[in-house]
């Protein structure tokens, strides 16, 4: 162990637990402090306006969006039965109400990446169309689905590196326009995601290495062609802002359910974190719309706690889990990112309430419990937020207001998982639940 690493562990003792793959709960000491954030509420509204302009195109290109008039929205579901089971399994009350924000049901790619990933594709398509044609902001964007535009977009390429869901979202959206689309996939990516992309005309380049390597290779390849646009999961402003529009959506859903966040009515939002872009973008959007009473909590695998580690040490993307000897291996493919986003940690420095790490077995148990209690099926990564509820409740300073609390577990993916694959996830969760009962989160 180097002297520098020893000093880091001495300064941040939780790093020692993390090195030994022990679940930890970290409360951010800077949460709620004043800070300069490089994004604004106006930019969130700009994203929402662009999504609205593209709604006619999405409705034309993706018939499944007809029922929402081309909007990419997901339901907010109260899950009382799951709450009861969580209390039983964790041997502790969860005061307030538990909801599931079901981005697992989002149209097109069935994951949270439908927000940021598709948004950045839409913005690039708009740029190309306005540069090369006479398209105006007030036009009916359904025109972009016509053969003439398809031919125009075929002269351009889009490239991305991904563990799976981001590549799936970007690939399917970009292919619908006619862009030459290439997705560099890490070793963690599920085979069915690669198969689905190829079936939609996307070129998939497989890497026997981490997503950081896949991203680096994609960035390098895209730089060779001025007509190829690279979407950078490690540092894209547009990806981040695409996720932020969720804040507008969920503000309306909470209001419709009579929930108005403030100091006496806290809303805890539990978000799985991989590279950290999507949970950070969502958290930023939530706090732009509802500046008081929002408590974002990130959930990461014990084997890949990259965002938690980066934020705790203030090293952000300058430190990788492998620097501490952590292997970076997890079955939660969407979270298998050894180094955090260049943007996420710095933006979330004062916006993130805390983080929790979990073992892979727990997320399989949770996805099986969710299926059994609510008949909702999600992929393993999407069940991560459930692991953070009990420790967050137990450690919250103002216990008196928890009776008014709202707990929102952000389910980040699942809709497109093939039936046989989902059955394997469920069977594994049921087998783990059959073992002697234990407290799932500490």
Please say which residue of 196, 216, 235 terminates a domain. Answer: 235
Provide the CB-side half-sphere exposure for 136 (13 A, CA). 2
Burial (CB count <10 Å: 0-12, 13-18, 19+), residue 391: buried
Q: What's the pLDDT at 1?
A: 56
Scan for tokens 């007030």, then name that residue.
138
Q: Which of 331, 159, 120 is nearest to 245 (CA)?
A: 120
Same domain, 307 and 165: no
Q: Please give the residue range of the domain that contains residue 118.
A: 112-235
Same domain, 148 and 272: no
Position 209 in a domain: yes
pLDDT for 93-141, tens place per residue? Answer: 999 999 999 999 999 999 999 999 999 999 999 999 999 999 999 999 9
Scan for tokens 């995601």, then name that residue.
193
Position 207 in a domain: yes
Position 55 in a domain: no
CA torsion sign for 342, 319, 10, 295 is positive
Position 56 in a domain: no
Please say which residue of 209, 235, 261 terminates a domain. Answer: 235
Position 44 in a domain: no
Same domain, 292 and 360: yes
Same domain, 198 and 287: no
Q: What's the pLDDT at 442?
A: 44
Position 50 in a domain: no
pLDDT for 61-74, tens place per residue? Answer: 999 999 999 999 99
Q: What's the pLDDT at 440?
A: 54
CATH code at position 344: 3.40.50.1100
Q: What's the pLDDT at 438?
A: 58
Position 342 in a domain: yes
Q: What is the mean pLDDT of the chain?
A: 94
Same domain, 292 and 343: yes
Same domain, 286 and 345: yes
Tell me the Cα Rg of the chain: 21
Please say which residue of 235, 267, 288 terminates a domain. Answer: 235
Q: What's the pLDDT at 153?
A: 98
Scan for tokens 């409705």, then name that residue.
59
What's the rounded mean pLDDT across residues 298-304?
A: 98
Q: By the 8 A CB rule, do 209 and 186 touch? A: yes
What's the rounded mean pLDDT across residues 129-157?
A: 97
Same domain, 313 and 400: yes
The proportion of the chain whose per-residue pLDDT surpasses 70, expressed as a percent, equals: 98
What CA–CA distance (Å, rounded) separates 389 from 265?
16
Same domain, 87 and 26: yes
Number of folded domains that form the chain: 2
What CA–CA distance (Å, rounded) separates 329 from 187?
10
Q: What's the pLDDT at 439?
A: 55
pLDDT for 374-387, tens place per residue? Answer: 999 999 999 999 99
Position 51 in a domain: no
What pTM was computed for the model? 0.95
Same domain, 279 and 392: yes
CA torsion sign for 187, 191, 193, 194 is positive
Q: What's the pLDDT at 234?
A: 82
Same domain, 395 and 296: yes
Same domain, 74 and 7: yes
């Amino acid at each position: 162990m180097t002297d520098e690493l020893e000093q880091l562990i001495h300064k941040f003792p939780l790093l020692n637990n993390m090195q030994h793959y022990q679940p930890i709960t970290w409360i951010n000491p800077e949460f709620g402090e004043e800070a300069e954030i490089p994004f604004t509420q106006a930019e969130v509204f700009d994203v929402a306006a662009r999504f609205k302009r593209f709604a006619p195109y999405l409705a034309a290109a993706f018939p499944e969006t007809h029922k929402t008039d081309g909007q990419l929205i997901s339901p907010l579901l109260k899950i009382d039965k799951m709450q009861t089971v969580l209390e039983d399994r964790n041997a502790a009350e969860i005061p307030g109400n538990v909801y599931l924000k079901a981005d697992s049901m989002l149209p097109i790619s069935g994951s949270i990446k439908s927000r940021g990933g598709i948004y950045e594709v839409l913005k690039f398509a708009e740029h190309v169309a306005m540069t090369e044609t006479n398209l105006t902001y007030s036009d009916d964007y359904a025109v972009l689905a016509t053969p003439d535009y398809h031919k125009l977009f075929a002269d351009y390429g889009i490239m991305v590196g991904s563990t799976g869901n981001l590549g799936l979202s970007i690939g399917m959206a970009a292919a619908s326009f006619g862009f030459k689309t290439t997705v560099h996939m890490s070793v963690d990516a599920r085979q069915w995601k690669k198969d689905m992309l190829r079936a939609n005309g996307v070129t998939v380049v497989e890497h026997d290495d981490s997503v950081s390597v896949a991203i680096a290779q994609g960035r390098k390849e895209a730089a060779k062609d001025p007509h190829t646009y690279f979407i950078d999961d490690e540092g894209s402003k547009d990806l981040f802002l695409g996720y932020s529009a969720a804040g507008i959506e969920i503000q309306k859903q909470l209001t419709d359910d009579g929930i108005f966040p403030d100091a006496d009515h806290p809303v805890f939002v539990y978000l799985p974190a991989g590279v950290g872009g999507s949970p950070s973008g969502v958290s930023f959007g939530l706090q732009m719309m509802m500046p008081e009473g929002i408590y974002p909590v990130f959930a990461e695998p014990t084997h890949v706690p990259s965002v938690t580690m980066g934020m705790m040490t203030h090293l952000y993307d300058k430190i990788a889990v492998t620097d501490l000897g952590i292997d970076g291996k997890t079955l939660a493919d969407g979270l298998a990112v050894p180094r955090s986003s260049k943007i996420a940690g710095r933006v979330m420095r004062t916006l993130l309430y805390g983080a929790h790490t979990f073992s892979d077995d727990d997320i399989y148990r949770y996805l099986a419990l969710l299926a059994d209690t609510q008949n909702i099926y999600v992929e393993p990564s999407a069940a991560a937020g459930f692991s953070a509820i009990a420790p967050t409740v137990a450690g919250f300073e103002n216990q008196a207001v928890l009776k008014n609390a709202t707990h929102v577990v952000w389910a980040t993916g699942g809709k497109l998982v093939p039936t046989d694959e989902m059955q394997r996830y469920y069977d594994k969760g049921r087998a783990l639940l059959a073992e002697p009962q234990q407290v799932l989160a500490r």
